[in-house]
Amino acid sequence: MGKYSSEVKKLSVEITEAITESLGIGPNYISKKMEDGMQVITVNCYPPCPNPEIALGLPPHSDYSCLTIVLQSCPGLEIMHTGDSKWKQVPQLHGALQVHVGDHFEVLSNGLYKSVVHRATLNSDRTRISIASLHSLGLEEKMGTAKELVSEENPGRYSESSFKDFLNFLANNDLAEGKSFINTLKVDENNNYLKLASALFLSVNY
Ligand SMILES: O=C(O)CCC(=O)C(=O)O
Ligand SMILES: [Fe+2]
């Protein structure tokens, strides 16, 4: 398990570098912070369920992390397809890892990367085990939107937050009731329109 954790940690830093490079802010934008950041590993065990269609292993949620790497023993992980809002099963490929973007990369990228809503379903005949490795900045380190991705025409859409802020959210909200951390970070769209309108108004007058 120790070897697995350190290998997925290295992988998370490499993926982080590819993501920030794809955003045009360079591969080293937060790679050091991720290297020094938090890694939380959850080992989930879902026993068989005689009526899997009326129960869930884990309710729909997105992870607070920057990114999450999942290894599953058999199918069960489903992701919400943003195009048609339908659940899609993540196929079981021997030894394959599922990587999904978490809330903090949605914030960093100002919404260019979307946090993946996912859930775990149950099987009728077998126990399912999954190992999820969640990678983020340090416990109290705030993740905000990269200032390079914010402009007057494209205002910041999220307020900053840390892993600790998420833990406080979790202490007061039930994910099973559909409460979503990322929704609490979204800056009021109307507020942004007002800012944009007043900026345009000022520049017209100027
Ligand atoms: O069991 C799974 O495949 C998903 C686990 C998960 O979403 C989590 O631990 O956050
Ligand atoms: Fe998750």
Q: With cut-offs at 50, 70 and 90, classify the pLDDT of residue 64.
A: very high
Kind and range of the H or E element at 118? strand 118-120
Q: Say how many domains are in the chain.
A: 1
Kind and range of the H or E element at 68? strand 67-72
Kind and range of the H or E element at 19? helix 2-22
* Host domain of residue 32: 2-205
Ligand 1 atom closest to the Cα of residue 72 is 3
CA gap 57, 104 in Å, rounded: 24
Q: What confidence score (pLDDT) does residue 145 get?
A: 98
Residue 1 has pLDDT above 80, yes or no: no
> How far, rounded to the nearest angstrom, does the alpha carbon of residue 162 sit from its chain's CA centroid?
13
Please provide the average confidence, as pLDDT, over all residues in the chain: 92
Ligand 1 atom closest to the Cα of residue 46 is 1
Residue 100 has pLDDT above 90, yes or no: yes
Tell the residue nearest (CA) to atom 8 of ligand 1: 132
Neighbours of 131 (CB within 10 A): 18
Give the environment of ion ligand 2: residues with CB less than 5 A.
63
Tell the residue nearest (CA) to atom 9 of ligand 1: 132
What tokens appear for 126 in the block? 């077998």
Pure H helices in 68-120 = 103-108
Ligand 2 geometric centre to CA of 195 (Å) = 35
What tokens appear for 135 in the block? 């990678």
Ligand 1 atom closest to the Cα of residue 98 is 3
Neighbours of 90 (CB within 10 A): 16
Q: What confidence score (pLDDT) does residue 78 get?
A: 96
**Cβ < 6 A, ligand 1 pocket:** 42, 44, 58, 63, 70, 72, 76-77, 118, 120, 130, 132
pTM of the model: 0.89
User: Is 65 within 8 Å of 107 (Cβ atoms)?
Assistant: no
Q: What confidence score (pLDDT) does residue 182 get?
A: 95
Q: What confidence score (pLDDT) does residue 176 get?
A: 82
Residue 162 has pLDDT above 90, yes or no: yes
Q: With cut-offs at 50, 70 and 90, classify the pLDDT of residue 199.
A: low
Q: Residue 123 is part of a domain; what is its CATH number? A: 2.60.120.330
In this predicted model, what pLDDT tens digit does every residue of 5-43 receive, in sequence order?
999 999 999 999 999 999 999 999 999 999 999 999 999
Give the ligand at the shortest distance from the Cα of 78. Answer: 1
